[in-house]
Structure 1
């Protein structure tokens, strides 16, 4: 297993139906082999490789998004877990906006980072809200079978599992991440040479 040190560049790639779909560099915050925490500074570039893409091109590509905007994205990824927790902030005071449970393939480590695939369906718990809520339910229903053939029920079950754990009061992440601040010297990274040629495996 490739372990990353704080400050290392970590490339997140998305693989859909055997093809590279998306890539973007981030920065390692911590990595103990089970929990990999990464930070994506504002301005971090997005890359959209060429391919056949029977499920269509990446939605951010279609929308013309070419880099991360806002305050930056902190992401908590666990080994063998089909979701990550994203942490967002907003406004000049960098106000925490809540927890975002991003359903996605468990990270598959590579020498340059990890591969995954976003599952469209998400759960969000806005800061100060009494409970969580589903996000992108209609989009998941529309695109799920095309993007994740044979896996729609499995993905929905993972969302239901997260919801049940939250309802039971479980907190499997450190809530102090809400007040985390990045190293001020961290600026957007470039994708390393040869990032497209690093082998990947389809789930």
Structure 2
């Protein structure tokens, strides 16, 4: 398995089963161990998103998000340049897991505070020369900073992408198993949540420049086997 160095720029790509890139986000490596690849970004980090998805984020219009998923199902979308906004993001991604655990930090009087934990349900990692590929499967779990309460998010969108065939029956079974795995992690305060206090105090390294996307990355490339 290719390893990345602390502070190195890597790119998370969401890649549709057709091989087309759905999104890209530039990140910096916090740690790369056998347990997980930990990456981060701050406002201003470069991204590319589907035009309709970017429009939905800008306008806060969920109906446009639905159009974006319709475009994904049809295989017809165009990427547009964007930047990460508002939050510092810390992303913990085990290589074979059907989820990632994200922490979102926002400004406060002391600099930054943890707003919430956020579990994305998504494909296992495929490492590339530039970073890693996955695919966000839309359903999420939002968890309070103290890990005592949580709620499911975007169940309606998940049902929609299931109807569209974006999420197959096999993928759905993997997501259902991953839901149980994450809830057990929360109940037991295990894995990343066993280090919640440490990660809650994480701050962006001031010496790191804001992550930028390399040129020409969107084209298809050979990737390592899933989980590699």
Please indicate the TM-score interval, normalised by the length of the shorter structure: 0.7 to 0.9
Displacement after TM superposition at 1:33 (Å):
3.6
Higher helix proportion (structure 1 or 2): 2
Q: Give the equivalent residue in structure 2 for 1:98.
A: 116
Alignment of 1:114 onto 2:132: yes
Match of 1:87 among 103, 106, 121: 103
Equivalent pair of 2:127/2:224 in contact (CA under 8 Å): no
Q: Give the equivalent residue in structure 1 for 2:190.
A: 171
Displacement after TM superposition at 1:70 (Å):
1.4
Unmatched 5+ stretches in structure 2: 52-70
What are the superposed Cα offsets for residues 154-184 of structure 1, whole Å, 9 maximum, x if unpaired? 31332133224423x2321121101101111
Is the alpha carbon distance of 1:77 and 1:166 closer, same or farther for their aligned partners in structure 2, counting shifts above 3 Å?
A: same
Is the alpha carbon distance of 1:133 and 1:53 closer, same or farther for their aligned partners in structure 2, counting shifts above 3 Å?
A: closer
Displacement after TM superposition at 1:66 (Å):
1.7
Alignment of 1:54 onto 2:77: no
Q: Give the equivalent residue in structure 2 for 1:196.
A: 218
What are the superposed Cα offsets for residues 132-168 of structure 1, whole Å, 9 maximum, x if unpaired? 211111111112342212222331332133224423x
In the alignment, the residues of structure 1 paired with residue 95 and residue 35 of structure 2 have an alpha-carbon distance, to the nearest angstrom, of 5
The within-5 A match list for 1:147-166 is 147-150=166-169, 151-166=171-186
Secondary structure (helix, strand or coil) at the match of 2:206 reads: coil
Equivalent pair of 2:128/2:224 in contact (CA under 8 Å): no
What are the superposed Cα offsets for residues 2-35 of structure 1, whole Å, 9 maximum, x if unpaired? 2111111111011112221111111011112431
What is the TM-score of this pair, normalised by structure 1? 0.85
What are the superposed Cα offsets for residues 49-105 of structure 1, whole Å, 9 maximum, x if unpaired? 79x8435678xx7xx882111132110011211111101112333121222111111
Match of 2:92 among 70, 76, 87: 76
Please, what is the CA RMSD of the aligned residues? 2.6
Alignment of 1:43 onto 2:44: yes
In the alignment, the residues of structure 2 paired with residue 65 and residue 153 of structure 1 have an alpha-carbon distance, to the nearest angstrom, of 34
Unmatched 5+ stretches in structure 1: none
Equivalent pair of 1:20/1:49 in contact (CA under 8 Å): no
Displacement after TM superposition at 1:201 (Å):
7.8
Is the alpha carbon distance of 1:65 and 1:179 closer, same or farther for their aligned partners in structure 2, counting shifts above 3 Å?
A: farther
